[in-house]
Chains A and B, each alone.
Chain A
Amino acid sequence: MLERIMLLAVLAAGFIALVLIGIVYAQAVNAQPLYSYRFELSLDTLVSIIKSAEFKSALINTLIVALLQTIVGVLGGLIIALAIHRVYVPYVGRLEPLVIAPFFIAPVIWGFAWNYAYGPSGYIPLLKGYDPFIVGVLCGLIHVPHAYALIASGLLSMDYSLEEVARLHGAGPLKAIVKVTIPMLRPSIILATTLLLILGFEQFGMPLVLLSPYGYDVLTTYMYGMPNRYPIDPYPKMAVVASLLLTITISLVILQRYLALREIRRFTTIGERYRGYYRMDVPLYIKLALTLIVLLYVIGAVLIPLGAVFLRSVNPLYGGGLYFTVDYYRIIVGSESYRNVITNTIFVALIAASLGSFLYLSYGWVILKGPRRAIRIYADILSTLPRALPGIVAGLAFLWLFLFTPLRPLMYTHLGLALAYAILWSTLGVRLIVSSLVQISQELENVARVHGASLTRTIMHIYIPLLKKSILISWLYLFILGIREYSVPVYLATGKTQVIGSTIVLLIGSGGLGIIAALSSITIAVSLVLTAIIFKIGWKPY
């Protein structure tokens, strides 16, 4: 029974993901608006958008941001992963939670964090303004944890006899790292590179906060600004940009899968075994340099920017200089609508984390043990597909899905928003569950079945108890993602269902910077506390 429900959930979620993508493409090549329910093939909108100068410059800016983000993020992640997991540098490992922290904070909040810290009117005004190159580098810095997690997992699963043989056969520590460790990390580096490229193309929050005021657009902000630019019937134009963005990200997801499959075969060595933990003793100057890089990152790119948000939330800057007040927090607590925003955020995150946990467990189950090969492949592919949906595009696609299909009652509801989150996070969530599910030997299930348990009871009495801890960890993890989400609710939340993320985006237009800082501070504090808790329970980013 339970396995039927799980299978059904997976089939439905996969189908919704397909429909979302279908809607975007359908609207992009349809001369009629979606609400007319008529289809008339036309490439006019597509051609006119592609020919426009705004689109071209947005595309170029997107490329700059995505490429720089990838280069900076992967390099940073690689160096920090080596410093923490391979080279013997005392105490650096303890900084790991701070290296990971940026991951749990929304890019839109990071936009403000960088600006309050180093912007033209920030506390340490290093930057005179912003352009796509600067923002690309800053985006890279906030994506170091993504690359770090993937590369660290590659490092930790590597059979380190590979490095030891190199050492004993005459390679010094640096030679061994360059000739063996880094080439061996190729699969993880490729994975990190494609992931950061995808995230770079879908980046919305940072460019919205930092680039839009300077007149630069990337594809996401260009699409977001369309209703202002073309107040009459903006949907087909938005769909064109969304579909182009989708084409890029889907291609990258396919490339990622192809490369992963190719690399796995080549880099799996026979009879791996791991004995404890291997550290390479390198010359002192390298240790110092690595320590400095990690410290610089943690202080300059994590603590100072986040600290600046807190400072800004109690320092209105009027009258110049430092003047402290808790007025912004008082406004938030005193206003019913802001209180609502906070309870909505928690409520939606709760539903999304619970829905998601069940869905990803179902996905994991179907991918590993599905009844037919075709179904297993369907589940596997459709669980990775949402990775290709940029948050802002997904929000729009869901809006259309709710608007124009029988799912209409879900529109602008907590449940509808939570459902969108759960489907969109499936790539991440499924990986989280599958990695613990594969560790449970098939024999445990077989013995339970032979000894008289039905499949449902096997799931209830064998799998769920064994997965208890990882389900708890993924639930909390999803809950943090729910608190963090800002781009999906831009189109899916309204009035009474508004959440913190979308409220911040809306406030950008109205200039409520103090309130933004206070709301951001609350989110940062909650995210950091929850992150500390899942670290404590035993979560590792790899």
Chain B
Amino acid sequence: MEAVTNATFKVFKGEIFSIVGPSGSGKTTLLRCIGGLETPDNGTIVFNDRTLFDSKSGINIPPEARGMGYVPQTWALWPHMKVKDNIAFGLRMRRIPREEAERRVKEIAKSLRIEDLLERYPWQLSGGQQQRVAVARALVLRPLLILFDEPLSNLDAALREEARVWLKNLLKELNITALYVTHDIHEALFLSDRIAFMYSGRIKVIDTPEGIYSRRDIPELAQIFGYNIVRANVLDHEKGLVELHGSHLTCDNPHKVKGNALVIFAPSEVKIGYGSIKAKVLRKSFVGGYLEYTLKLGDSIIRAISEVTVKEGSEVFIDLSKCTIAPS
């Protein structure tokens, strides 16, 4: 079983590069290979013109010699060391003189506003404080790359929002190159310069946040963004003419898909009371400002957002203001 295949990508200096995907998509495995915590079967990892791993020539630099920083999901603060010793650990390993190490620990603690915590032990800190210490421990090394593995997923929702802003400002201020793994697409959109979307061990697409958000032609990505995905038959792939539940409809067809295909559209793109596609209203919910409908369209269940009021159980006609064809 291969966890990751054909994952080719480049990260540029000073960039926050995120790897996003559902759990089990192989994003963490990829990160661990880059850190040297796992050994890929084949391939090459080059970092700053230095080959870290090459299956052909048998090069495999151990993690400690790769010069990176790491912030794991659990933060992994060593409970037997005080905060200051946690932060200073990497400096000691690099044999940085004691005075300089102390100065750098104080400096980073000050800029992360954790200087009051230096004498404490990790178990005496709150979740948010622990997360800051874990980031400080990586930053103090001034590494060329920091690996983040879902560093915010152990914070509660309110703190997570705050930490997101804090982290982005910090990384940009210090011009740090970061490889950031998360399953939360919105976190990735907010933080990243570029995003790689992974699905079942493959990188499906690499793009800017705006670019990723517009890639509704990738069903796995569309699903995460809450698009409707229904099966349909393409009648004319040049014009994008599809047959959907007995009605004809024209959609974008960027991949020129023929025959059986998926039609992808946003809930807000469903126009109730227009067009000729028949649907049945299963459920109507008021969610503030507008109504959210669950509709039965042939064998598929879709969501629609509308200001129009129709009854539950009634038959309605709908139209799609925009739709995209993707291979099934």
Query: Which residues of A are found within 8 Å of B66, using beta-carbon distances?
Result: 168
CB neighbors of B among A174-212 (8 A): 175-176, 179-180, 183-184, 186
Are B64 and A165 in touch, CB under 8 angstroms? no
- Given A166-B89, A168-B35, A168-B64, answer yes or no on A269-B74 (Cβ-Cβ < 8 Å): yes
Contact: A183 with B74, CB < 8 Å? no
A169 at the interface (CB under 8 A from B): yes
8 Å CB contact of A270 from B63, B75, B78, B90: B75
Q: How far is the CA of A267 from the CA of B122 in the complex (A)?
A: 9
B215 in contact (CB, < 8 A): no
Q: How far is the CB of A215 from chain B (nearest CB, A)?
A: 46
* Cβ-based interface call for B127 (8 A): yes
List, in ascending order, chain A residues with CB within 8 A of B94's CB.
Answer: 170
Report the minimum CB–CB distance from B32 to chain A (whole Å).
Answer: 8
Residue of A168, A173, A267, A270 most packed against chain B (CB within 10 A): A168
B70 within 8 A of A: yes
User: Please, how many angstroms separate the alpha-carbon atoms of A171 and B95 in the complex?
Assistant: 11
Question: Does A268 touch B at the CB level, under 8 Å?
Answer: yes
Contact A266 B79 (CB under 8 A): yes
A159 contacts across to B, CB distance below 8 A: 74, 76
**Alpha-carbon separation in the docked complex, A176 to B76 (Å):** 13
Contact B78 A180 (CB under 8 A): yes
Query: Could you say which residues of chain B place their CB within 8 Å of the CB of A468?
Result: none
Greatest chain B CB density within 10 A among A179, A183, A186 is at A179
* Min CB gap A489→B, angstroms: 44
Indicate whether B182 reaches chain A with its CB closer than 8 angstroms: no
A168 contacts B147, C-beta separation under 8 Å: yes
- The distance in angstroms between the C-alpha atoms of A273 and B28, with both chains bound, is 13
Minimum distance in angstroms from A165 CB to a CB of chain B: 5
Residues in A neighbouring B64, C-beta threshold 8 A: 167-172, 175-176
Q: Decide if A164 touches B37 in the complex (CB within 8 Å).
A: yes
On whether the beta carbons of B37 and A167 are closer than 8 Å, the reply is: yes
Collect the chain A residues with CB atoms within 8 Å of residue B81's CB. Answer: 183
Q: Whole-angstrom distance between the alpha carbons of A183 and B85 in the complex?
A: 14
Query: How far in angstroms is the closest Cβ of chain B from A87?
Result: 14
Tell me the smallest distance from the CB of B91 to a CB of chain A, in Å. Answer: 8
Residues of A in contact, count (CB < 8 Å): 31
Q: Please tell me if A511 contacts chain B, counting CB pairs below 8 Å.
A: no
Contacts of A266 in B (CB 8 A): 79-80, 121, 123
B137 within 8 A of A: yes
Q: Could you say which residues of chain B place their CB within 8 Å of the CB of A171?
A: 64, 89, 93
A272 located at the interface, meaning its Cβ lies under 8 Å from any Cβ of chain B in the complex: yes
A175: chain B residues within 8 A (beta carbon): 64, 93
Q: Which residue of A lies closest to B153 (CB)?
A: A271
Judge whether B77 is part of the interface by a CB distance below 8 angstroms: yes
A164 touches B89 (CB 8 A): no
With a cutoff of 8 Å between Cβ atoms, the chain B residues found around residue A372 in the complex are: none
Residue of B nearest to A274 (CB): B74
For the residues of A in contact with B, the DSSP-based class is: helix
B62 and A161 contacting across the interface, CB-CB below 8 Å: no
| Neighbouring A residues of B20 by C-beta, 8 Å | none
A162 at the binding interface (Cβ < 8 Å): yes
Q: Whole-angstrom distance between the alpha carbons of A167 and B32 in the complex?
A: 12
On chain A, the residues within 8 Å of B21 by CB distance are none
A451 beta carbon closer than 8 Å to chain B: no
Which residues of B have CB within 8 Å of A165? 70, 72, 76, 137
Which residues of B (112-127) have their CB < 8 Å from a CB of A? Answer: 121-123, 127
**Structural contact, A169 and B90, CB atoms closer than 8 A:** yes
Contact residues in B for A275 (Cβ distance below 8 Å): 28
- Return A56 CB to nearest CB of chain B, in Å: 40
By a CB distance below 8 angstroms, the chain B residues around A167 are: 36-37, 62-64
Whether B62 contacts A172 by the Cβ 8 Å rule is yes
- Do B77 and A269 have beta carbons less than 8 Å apart? yes
Chain A nearest CB, measured from B82 CB (Å): 12
Closest partner residue, chain B, to A167 (CB atom): B63
Q: A186 touching B77 by the CB < 8 A rule?
A: no
Chain A proximity of B37: nearest CB distance (Å):
5
B73 at the interface (CB under 8 A from A): yes
A184–B68 alpha-carbon span in the complex (Å): 23
A266 to B124 CA separation, bound complex (whole angstroms): 9
Q: Is B73's CB under 8 angstroms from A169's CB?
A: no
Verify if A229 is at the interface (C-beta below 8 Å from B): no
Q: B263 to chain A: closest CB distance in Å?
A: 38
Q: Does B141 contact A (CB under 8 A)?
A: yes
Does B69 interact with chain A (Cβ within 8 Å)? yes
Interface centre among A169, A173, A271, A272 (most CB of B within 10 A): A169
Q: Encode A4-30 as 1/0 by CB contact (under 8 A) with B.
A: 000000000000000000000000000
Closest 8 CB pairs of A and B: A170-B93, A169-B90, A161-B76, A161-B72, A167-B63, A168-B70, A271-B154, A183-B80
Q: B-contacting residues of A (Cβ < 8 Å)?
A: 159, 161-162, 164-173, 175-176, 179-180, 183-184, 186, 265-273, 275, 281
Show 27 A/B contacts (Cβ-Cβ < 8 Å), sorted by A.
A161-B74, A162-B76, A164-B63, A164-B70, A165-B137, A166-B89, A166-B93, A167-B36, A167-B37, A168-B70, A169-B138, A170-B64, A171-B89, A172-B64, A176-B64, A179-B89, A183-B78, A184-B80, A265-B123, A266-B121, A268-B123, A269-B79, A269-B122, A270-B74, A270-B127, A271-B153, A273-B73
With A171-B93, A176-B64 known, 13 other A-B pairs at CB within 8 A are A161-B73, A161-B75, A162-B78, A164-B70, A165-B76, A167-B36, A168-B66, A265-B123, A268-B79, A270-B127, A270-B130, A271-B154, A281-B62
